[in-house]
Amino acid sequence: MIMVRFWKAHLSMAIHSTIENKNRILYSNKYIRRCAMLAVNYTTMRNKLKDYCDLVTDQGETIIVTRKADRNVVVLSLEQYNAMEKEIRNAQYLAKLDRSFRQLEAGQGQIHELIED
């Protein structure tokens, strides 16, 4: 379950002084630690794209771009995206290993001869 709270906050970086008083979203669920995200509308994102891209890559910020009809998107750095993908793959691999161990414990394992070259 995702808990969402909206609040106004000023960005602390002076170099991003043009990006002030934006909505931030505080969320948490059982997989993701509590963190704040910047939420901006599509027009603002488009008008200040470079500033927001710098904020994402330089400060590690994650930005929610709000659009009409709840067709929102999330902007995050490639580094953050790759880390998330790696966590998902690791979780899937660990689940597969767990299933294999349970099958082995249930006597459903198979013995194969090693093939030598």
What is the residue-averaged pLDDT of the chain?
75
Per residue in 64-104, pLDDT tens?
A: 999 999 899 999 999 999 999 999 999 999 999 999 989 98
For residue 35, the model assigns a pLDDT of 58
The pLDDT of 26-38, averaged and rounded, is: 53
Confidence (pLDDT) at 110: 83
User: What secondary structure does DSSP assign to the chain, as a single string?
Assistant: --EEEEEEE----GGGTTS-SEEEEEEE-SSS--EEEEEEEHHHHHHTHHHHHHHHHHH---EEEE-GGG--EEE--HHHHHHHHHHHHHHHHHHHHHHHHHHHHTT-----PPPP-
Among 8-17, 31-40, 90-99, the range of highest mean pLDDT: 90-99
Map 12-42 to HEC letters: CCHHHCCCCCEEEEEEECCCCCCEEEEEEEH
pTM above 0.85, yes or no: no
